[in-house]
Structure 1
Amino acid sequence: MQPLPDDIALHVPTSDDVGRVHELYSDPDVWRHAPHGRHVAVVTTRRMVERWVSDWENHGLGSWLVEDAVTGELLGNAGCSLRNGAHWNLGYRFAPAAQGRGIATRVARLALAAAWEKDPGIPRVASILEHNGASVAVAVRAGLTLQFRGLDVGNPDPSAVRLLYADRPLDPAKVRLILGH
């Protein structure tokens, strides 16, 4: 894996992190591009953190908590998680104060490299809403290219467009699997 930048620390989540992750995931400013995803109940965050812990236990890789290396402040999360045994899902979410500093791109690159080390035969994919230009920019800077564009089925906004960025071409069957169709 690439060296860790000096200004951040990566922390494998535990159940003890639910409270501070909930603070991040319940912040409406974090969900500008997908307000329906905001966590209102702590139980939603607890389930997500449990999934992250399970990812690490079962696959040796998952989402990291990204902290300020000096203060320990939670800046966000980022990482690759194996989904359906078919693709490494690159995900990232950061507090507004941590956005625009290149942190998401740096950690996304680390996550993609770690997924490659685990199994280079499995595609690495970022699933992004088209109107989230900052997230698209992170995926592109991390080395992924656009492989799919289509309506985001099930989104409360019927005009929402889903993009899949990946490290390789994705056949239609793989796209359907990634999208859950």
Structure 2
Amino acid sequence: MVHQLLTPSQEIRTDRLLLTALSPADIDDVHALFSDAGTWQHLPSGRHVARSSSVDMVQRKIGGRARHGLGSWTVRTASDHAFVGVGGVDMTVGGVWNLGYRLAPAAWGQGFASEIALAAVRAAAETACDVPVTGRVLTNNPASVAVLRRAGLSLVWQGPASVRTEPGVEGQVWADRALSDAQFAWLVANA
């Protein structure tokens, strides 16, 4: 809990969303989302079966925010504060921001992912403008590819995914600028 005491509170409002730092108070909502098999259609092996997986993820994201000044947000609607999902950017060990999001199925198709992605790219530029914003996606997820494109990222690599996928599904790496050789190698190894 000390991490949150050391990190300034961050709240970002978009046209329709309220983005706040993930906290332990969000764990039940996060676990309900990350344990829902419907939200893992493109990567079933990523589903959180045990609540401890969600607790660990939230703790890592809180720690990352404390170390790097930015991290994933809890996403709620601005109108009634209903939980929509988790999204934003997190610093990777590869030295790049990783853009990601996971939304409740009821929130799909409303443009929320693009709204989160654009806010995350802006926040990353304000926090560490010299660090690339990247996204890793599987080719069986065209909706996420469209979000990355709308957020200003470009495809820089496509090939064998680092995770177990269905036959014919490849990994992609997207970035908002040129990457160093080390950043590129890390992203490809973890695509």
TM-score under structure 1 normalisation? 0.91
Q: Which residue of 2 aligns with 1:166?
A: 175
SS of the residue corresponding to residue 89 of structure 1 reads strand
Q: Partners of 2:165 and 2:151 in 1: how far apart?
A: 29
Is 1:23 the equivalent of 2:32? Answer: yes
- 1:109-146 CA-partner distances (Å, limit 9, x unpaired): 11111111122211110000111011001000111110
Alignment counterpart, residue 13 of structure 2, candidates 4, 10, 20: 4
Alignment counterpart, residue 41 of structure 1, candidates 33, 50, 59: 50
Structure 2 unaligned segments of length 5 or more: list them. 1-11
**Contact kept? 1:152, 1:158, Cα under 8 Å:** no
Alignment counterpart, residue 149 of structure 1, candidates 132, 150, 158: 158
Is 1:117 the equivalent of 2:121? Answer: no
Q: Which residue of 2 aligns with 1:62?
A: 71
**Contact kept? 1:7, 1:70, Cα under 8 Å:** yes
Is 1:77 the equivalent of 2:77? Answer: no
Is 1:177 the equivalent of 2:186? Answer: yes
Deviation at 1:153, TM superposition (A): 2.5
- 1:30-56 CA-partner distances (Å, limit 9, x unpaired): 111111111110000001000111121
Q: Match for 1:78: what amino acid?
A: G
SS of the residue corresponding to residue 81 of structure 1 reads strand
Sequence identity (%) = 38
**Contact kept? 1:147, 1:170, Cα under 8 Å:** no
RMSD: 1.7
SS of the residue corresponding to residue 113 of structure 2 reads helix
- 1:140-168 CA-partner distances (Å, limit 9, x unpaired): 01111101101002425454311111101
1:107–1:150 Cα change, 3 Å: same
1:161–1:123 Cα change, 3 Å: same
Q: How many residues align?
A: 179
Deviation at 1:106, TM superposition (A): 1.0
Q: Match for 2:25: what amino acid?
A: D
Q: Match for 1:91: what amino acid?
A: G
**Contact kept? 2:158, 2:173, Cα under 8 Å:** yes
Q: Which residue of 1 aligns with 2:3?
A: none
Q: Runs of at least 4 residues of structure 1 off by over 6 A?
A: none
Q: Match for 1:25: what amino acid?
A: F
Q: Which residue of 1 aligns with 2:62?
A: 53
SS of the residue corresponding to residue 13 of structure 2 reads coil
Structure 1 unaligned segments of length 5 or more: list them. none
- 1:10-37 CA-partner distances (Å, limit 9, x unpaired): 1211112111100011111111111111
